[in-house]
Structure 1
Amino acid sequence: MALPAGLAAGLLGSPAQAALQAPAAPTNAAAPAKPATAAAPAAFAHPGVLVSRSQLDFVRGRVQAGAQPWKAAYDQMHASGYDSLNRTPKPRAVVECGSYSNPDYGCTDEREDAIAAYTLALDWYITRDSRYAQKAIQLMDAWSGTLKDHTNSNAPLQSAWSASTWPRAAEIIRYTYSGWPADKIDRFGTMLRNVYLPKVVNGSRSNGNWELSMTEATIGIAVFLNDRTVYDKAVTTFRGRVPAYIYLTTDGALPKTAPGSGLDTRDKIINYWQGQSTFVNGLTQETCRDLTHTGYAISAIAHVAETSRIQGQDLYPEIADRLRNALGFQATYELGTAVPSWLCGGTLKQHLGPVTEVGFNALHNRLGHAMTNTQKLTEQRRPAGTDNLFTAWETLTHADNPN
Structure 2
Amino acid sequence: MFTYENGAAVRRTAFLVIVTALVLGVLAPSADRRAEAAPAAFVHPGVTVSRSQLDFARTKVDAGAQPWKGAFDRMLASRYADLNRPPRPRATVECGSYSNPDNGCTDEREDALAAYADALAWYVTRDERYARKAIELMDAWSAVIKDHTNSNAPLQTGWAGSSWPRAAEIIRYTYPGSWANSGRFATMLRNVYLPEVVNGSHSNGNWELSMMEAAVGISVFLEDKASYDKAMAKFRTRTAAFVYLASDGELPKTVPSQNLDTRDKVVRYWQGQSTFVTGLTQETCRDLTHTGYGISAISHVAETGRIQGQDLYGTDVGERLRQALGFQARYELGAAVPSWLCGGSLHLGLGPVTEVGHNALSHRLGMPMTNNRALTERNRPAGSNNLFVAWETLTHGGNPN
**Residue 8 in 1 paired to residue 6 in 2?**
no
CA distance in 2, matches of 1:317, 1:98: 38
Deviations 1:58-81 (A, max 9, x none): 000000001111001001101101
State which of 141, 144, 159 in structure 2 corresponds to 1:143. 141
Identity %: 70
CA distance in 2, matches of 1:240, 1:115: 28
CA distance in 2, matches of 1:344, 1:256: 19
Partner of 1:348, secondary structure, is coil
CA distance in 2, matches of 1:195, 1:40: 22
- The aligned counterpart of 1:171 is 169
**Residue 310 in 1 paired to residue 299 in 2?**
no
CA distance in 1, matches of 2:261, 2:28: 26
**Residue 395 in 1 paired to residue 358 in 2?**
no
- Cα drift, residue 261 of structure 1: 1.6
**Residue 332 in 1 paired to residue 327 in 2?**
no
- Cα drift, residue 148 of structure 1: 0.5
CA distance in 2, matches of 1:72, 1:9: 31
**Residue 252 in 1 paired to residue 252 in 2?**
no
Partner of 2:93, secondary structure, is strand
Partner of 1:369, secondary structure, is coil
Letter in 1 for 2:390: A
- Cα drift, residue 55 of structure 1: 0.5
RMSD of Structure 2 on Structure 1 (CA)? 1.4
Partner of 2:258, secondary structure, is coil
CA distance in 1, matches of 2:276, 2:329: 17
Q: 1:33 to 1:309 in 2, by over 3 A?
A: closer
Say if 1:291 and 1:350, in contact at 8 Å, map to a contact too.
yes
CA distance in 2, matches of 1:13, 1:373: 14
CA distance in 2, matches of 1:324, 1:136: 34
CA distance in 2, matches of 1:11, 1:135: 46
**Residue 219 in 1 paired to residue 216 in 2?**
yes
- Cα drift, residue 137 of structure 1: 0.3
Alignment of 1:68-107 (within 5 A): 68-107=66-105
Partner of 2:196, secondary structure, is helix
CA distance in 2, matches of 1:298, 1:361: 14
Alignment of 1:55-74 (within 5 A): 55-74=53-72
- Cα drift, residue 57 of structure 1: 0.4
Q: Please, which runs of 5 or more residues in structure 2 have no aligned partner?
A: 10-26
Q: 1:188 to 1:273 in 2, by over 3 A?
A: same
**Residue 271 in 1 paired to residue 235 in 2?**
no
- Cα drift, residue 351 of structure 1: 1.1
TM-score normalised according to structure 1 size? 0.92
CA distance in 1, matches of 2:61, 2:400: 15
Say if 2:4 and 2:330, in contact at 8 Å, map to a contact too.
no
Q: 1:341 to 1:40 in 2, by over 3 A?
A: same
Alignment of 1:104-115 (within 5 A): 104-115=102-113
CA distance in 1, matches of 2:92, 2:210: 21
Partner of 2:323, secondary structure, is helix
Letter in 1 for 2:277: V
Q: Give aligned pairs, total.
A: 380
Q: Please, which runs of 5 or more residues in structure 1 have no aligned partner?
A: 15-31
Letter in 2 for 1:139: L
- The aligned counterpart of 2:19 is none
State which of 116, 128, 131 in structure 1 corresponds to 2:129. 131
CA distance in 1, matches of 2:28, 2:276: 21
Partner of 1:95, secondary structure, is strand
- The aligned counterpart of 1:36 is 32
Alignment of 1:334-373 (within 5 A): 334-373=332-371
- Cα drift, residue 385 of structure 1: 0.4
